[in-house]
């Protein structure tokens, strides 16, 4: 997947090219090339397309770290064309690409934990 990334990653990206290539490959296998996850990668690496979550127009150029993180707060502009899991993953990718090393992943990017009834636990 090295050929899908620019030779030099944009300034806003904090992960190494090797790690980005590995995660990109995994994401494209899991989520495909036409949805919000792939759009998040294209926008972060090349500044292409509308904004990947909100689908708002993008004026061009590479997004800054603030742009990447800011897009994670928008609601989905995909309507029924994308699942909530796809949108959550796209937001997580955008956040992760610009995050400081060893940052704690915000809870908003993880699926909710199942609710357990106190009576369902056997001792």
Q: What local confidence, expressed as pLDDT, does residue 110 receive? A: 76
The pLDDT value given to residue 79: 94
Q: Is the pTM of this model over 0.75?
A: yes
C-alpha to C-alpha distances, 99 to 65, 94, 104, nearest whole angstrom: 8, 9, 9
In this structure, what DSSP letter does residue 119 have?
G
Q: What is the pLDDT of residues 102-116, one digit of tens each?
A: 998 888 887 764 544
**43-96 pLDDT, tens digit each:** 999 999 999 999 999 988 999 999 999 999 999 999 999 999 999 999 999 999
For the segment 6-41, what is each residue's pLDDT rounded down to a tens digit? 999 999 999 999 999 999 999 999 999 999 999 999
């Amino acid at each position: 997947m090295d050929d899908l990334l620019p030779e030099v990653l944009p300034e806003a990206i904090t992960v190494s090219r090797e790690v980005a290539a590995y995660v990109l490959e995994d994401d494209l296998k899991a989520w495909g090339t036409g949805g919000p996850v792939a759009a998040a990668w294209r926008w972060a690496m090349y500044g292409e397309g509308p904004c990947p979550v909100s689908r708002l127009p993008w004026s061009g150029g590479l997004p800054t770290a603030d742009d990447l993180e800011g897009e994670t707060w928008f609601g989905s502009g995909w309507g029924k064309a994308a699942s909530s899991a796809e949108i959550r993953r796209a937001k997580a990718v955008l956040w992760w690409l610009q995050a400081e090393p060893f940052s704690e992943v915000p809870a908003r990017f993880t699926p909710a934990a199942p609710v357990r009834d106190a009576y369902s636990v056997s001792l």
